[in-house]
Each structure stands twice: as C-alpha cells, then as structure tokens.
Amino acid sequence: WGTLHNNLKKINTAIFFSGRGSNMESLIKATKNQNFPASIPVVITNNKSAPGIQLAKNHFIPVEILDKNKFNRSEFESNSQKILLDYKIEMICLAGFMQILSKKFVYSWQNRIINIHPSYLPKNKGLYPQKQVIDEKASYTGCSVHFVNEKIDDGKIILQEKVKVMHNDNVQTLSDRILEKEHIIYPRALKKIALEILEIKN
Ligand code: GRF
C-alpha cells in the first residue's frame, strides 16, 4: 500500500550535450524531485572534452561519449539509437548540443526531441543569438524551448521567457541573464511534455 508517489510513472529522458552542461544539470536537478514526471537514466555527448561530462558524473548519471573526432554524424546517430533503446528512452532533450541531427533521426523521434535556444524565437535563430541581439540594439530577447524539426531552431514553441536588454549590456552580461531564465524554463517545459506523453499513454 505504499504512497501514491511510488506509482508515479516517469518518462525516460536522455540529454544530448556538447559543452558546459549547465542546462543539462538544471534538468538533472529537477528530475530528482520524486514528483517530477521524467527521469534521466543516461546522457550522451559528442565531445569527449565537454565540461558537462563531470557534472553528469557528479550526479551519478551514466555518460555515453561518442566523440565527434571518432564518429561521423551517421555513426553518432546509429550508436545513439542503440543506447536510447537500451535505456528505454522515450524523449530527448538537446542542451547545448552543437551538431545538427539528420532528418532521418529527427523523424524517428518526431515530437519527442526538444531544444533550448537563447533567444525569443522566431527571432535570432542560429549561432551567437545574444550577439545578434546586441548588434541589432534590440530592446528585448529571451529564451525558448521548442520541438526539434529538420530546420534549425524552428519547431513548435513549448515555453519562452522574455529578457530585457539593458543599455549597458554586453554579450556576456546578457547571456548570463538569459541563462538564468533558461535554467528555469527548461525543466518546466520538460515537465509539461512528459505529462502530456503520460496522458497519451494512459
Ligand atoms: C545555452 O545557452 C543553450 O540555450 C544553447 O547553448 C547553451 C548551452 O549552455 N543551446 P549549457 O551547455 O547548457 O551550459
């Protein structure tokens, strides 16, 4: 007759990352709450030098390293598919994953891959969005969590948050303020989508 919590189903979620891993860590921390509807049994990186590797290890999460110098995109993807199957993964979060996924991969995970981008999409897609914002002298930017489709930073938006640009902002100060918001909205977005998947399954 254990507590209700023991029966809570969770969506097995993998994270793909390439670098610092701060968004990955914010997701890992959120999933530690017993009521959070997703868990993270494995993370995958394409960069053997990614600082995020140590972060994941600190949380005792297995890290699969498919280094970009050893595995081309198609090898990365076929090896990832095996890992995802092994861990019974149902959903993928991209968190600073600096490699474009093939159409084939994206279609095989349709509506099951989400990404975070540091701009108020559809504004400022692609690389260095914070610099784009400073150069444009825009008055606000933000961050967005969206579904991944075959185009870059393009799929349906799940959650987004605005961040005001201050007159004395530089790329660094602006990026730091956006990142704080990223760490808040990414776990919220994962929760929302995981709950929706659980709903469909029941
Ligand atoms: C974040 O700004 C994220 O929005 C973008 O890449 C950066 C990754 O940072 N896609 P981190 O590795 O999560 O710290």
**Which sequence positions are flagged as catalytic?**
117
Q: Give the pLDDT score at 5.
A: 53
The two structure tokens encoding residue 41: 């049994």
Q: Give the pLDDT score at 1.
A: 44
Atom of ligand 1 nearest to the CA of 26: 13
Q: The tokens 């961050």 sit on which residue?
A: 143
DSSP secondary structure code for residue 166 in this structure: P
Residue 162 CB neighbours (<10 A)? 12
Q: Give the pLDDT score at 59.
A: 98
Atom of ligand 1 nearest to the CA of 118: 4
Q: Give the pLDDT score at 6.
A: 54
pTM: 0.95
User: At residue 113, what is the residue type?
Assistant: I
Nearest CA, atom 14, ligand 1: 22
The parts of the chain modelled with pLDDT lower than 70 are 1-7
Q: Give the pLDDT score at 201.
A: 82
